[in-house]
Structure 1
Amino acid sequence: MVDQQTKRRGLLIILSSPSGAGKSTLAKRLRVWDEDIIFSVSATTRKPRPGEVDGQDYHFISVEKFKHDVAEGDMLEHAHVFGNFYGSPKGPVQAAINAGQDVLFDIDWQGAQQITNSDLGKHTLSIFLLPPSITELQRRLESRGQDDAETIQRRMQKSWDEISHWGSYDHVLINKDLDETEMALRTIITATRLKRIQQPSLITHARALQQEFEDME
């Protein structure tokens, strides 16, 4: 239950794109822009890597615990990737949006659909980032210098499947310029925060106005 004095409910902001379209960079920029936007910390059944901190990088849990949480409806979305389970715990997300914080998800279209269809779906804002061209997408992947040629080719092959689901998102932006795309993201988020369903204090204010009007009679 959201406290009626809370200024606003938080949003579940889903940001998806093919690899190389600028998603990670823009997600970090949004966090710098507004500290009320926090990253969702996923749960996983894989072992921690050196330097990873439980609860900060991931929630590291057992397979049994993960399956139990899925069965109980405590995962907003989940997937099985390379022999391990990954998912987004519902509890911390619910607590964050009740406190007026926006939770940012860097997930693919399948995870986006699961969250949109969940009982928190009405508070979801989904945005897909398209590259200006496939040639530019490949150039960006190569210029990062993070992957070998085989990995880049694999990412390119996967990109079309990801791009083909752009139509299921609330907003779609062509990321030609990072600064322009960031400003568009800020505008979309600001406008969505003002939706009636995101402002629980409105009902209290409306009732106060009604009472004030009745007292004047």
Structure 2
Amino acid sequence: MSFSFDSKSGKLILLTAPSGSGKTTIARHLLQKYEELDFSVSATTREPRHYETDGKDYYFISSDEFKQRLENGEFVEHEEVYENQYYGTLQSEIERIWALGKSIVFDIDVKGAKNLKEQFGEQCLSIFIRPPSLEVLIERLTNRKTESEDSLKKRIKRVTNEMDYENYFDVVLVNDILDVALIESEHLLERFVYGGASKYHELQKAKQTRN
């Protein structure tokens, strides 16, 4: 895809993993800590869960609207994750965040991350978040109790396949002990966005001095 905006102006942090691996928790942690980041809100045709907010967690749109916007060339990437259940990243979302001068955090499925990495290359830091084992992952998904048995079976089948994709990405981060994974994700981000932890801390000191 060719972009009408300056596609070399910003950086992308792709947090990808099978469902239940903890990528959303890590994404929220990074967004809370680093003010130079903003979250890319994906569009989806699935129904919102009771705790989700339109425009914050996802843009919830109809299948017809999704297909129309796809036909209009408004998506950077998209995928039919399950039958008649689409997800995608809108070009306008990337434009919005880069216009603020911020780097973009994506909480995105494996194929979506792969597509973005292929398009944006070295502008991306792609982190595959892996659970300590497939058994632990299945246990986490089962304990969620947020979907029907049939839906859970489909999700387990999908995540089993997604575990094979880790070598496509820049870094594999094992989320066994969450606190350790959070610290490791901070180090990875600081190197990529700021050029290292020392430069990040220098930036924070400079901001404090100005204030």
Q: TM-score, normalised by structure 1?
A: 0.70
Q: Which moved more, 1:106-115 or 1:160-169?
A: 106-115
In structure 2, what is the equivalent of residue 131 of structure 1? 131
Q: Who is 2:107 aligned against?
A: 106
* Structure 2 stretches lacking a partner, 5+ long: 196-211
Aligned pairs, how many? Answer: 188
Post-superposition offset of 1:90: 1.0
Distance 1:141 1:67, change over 3 A: closer
RMSD, matched Cα? 3.1
Q: Which amino acid aligns with 2:94?
A: V
Conservation of the 8 A alpha-carbon contact between 1:21 and 1:130: yes
For residues 124 and 57 of structure 1, do their structure 2 counterparts lie closer, same or farther at Cα, with a shift above 3 Å needed? same
Distance 1:137 1:75, change over 3 A: same
Larger radius of gyration: 1
Alpha-carbon displacement from aligned partner over 1:58-97 (angstroms, at most 9, x marks no partner): 4455656544543454311112343244311112213313
SS in 2 for 1:21: coil
Conserved? CA contact 1:29–1:182, under 8 Å: yes
2 CA distance for matches of 1:48 and 1:152? 17
| 1:141 counterpart SS class | helix
Structure 1: 5+ residue stretches without partners? 3-8, 196-217
Cα offset, 1:148, TM superposition: 5.8
Distance 1:121 1:89, change over 3 A: farther
Bigger relative CO (Cα 8 Å, ≥ 6 apart): 1
Pairing 1:186–2:186 present: yes
Q: Which residue of 1 aligns with 2:209?
A: none
Distance change >3 Å, CA 134–CA 79, structure 1 → 2: closer
> 1:10–1:193: 8 Å Cα contact kept in structure 2?
no
- Which residue in the other structure is 1:203 paired with? none
Q: Residues 101 and 157 of structure 1: is their aligned pair in 2 closer, same or farther, counting only changes over 3 Å?
A: same
Is residue 149 of structure 2 the alignment partner of residue 141 of structure 1?
no
The CA deviation at 1:108 is: 1.6
Q: Report the TM-score when normalising by structure 2.
A: 0.72
SS at match of 1:35: coil
Secondary structure (helix, strand or coil) at the match of 2:132 reads coil
1:114-149: CA deviation from partner (whole Å, max 9, x where unpaired): 21222x444222110111122322333344444566
| Identity between Structure 1 and Structure 2 (%) | 35
Amino acid aligned to 1:170: D
| Alpha-carbon distance in 1 for matches of 2:64, 2:155 | 32
Name the counterpart of 2:204: none
SS state of the match for residue 176, structure 2?
coil
More displaced, 179-188 or 33-42?
33-42
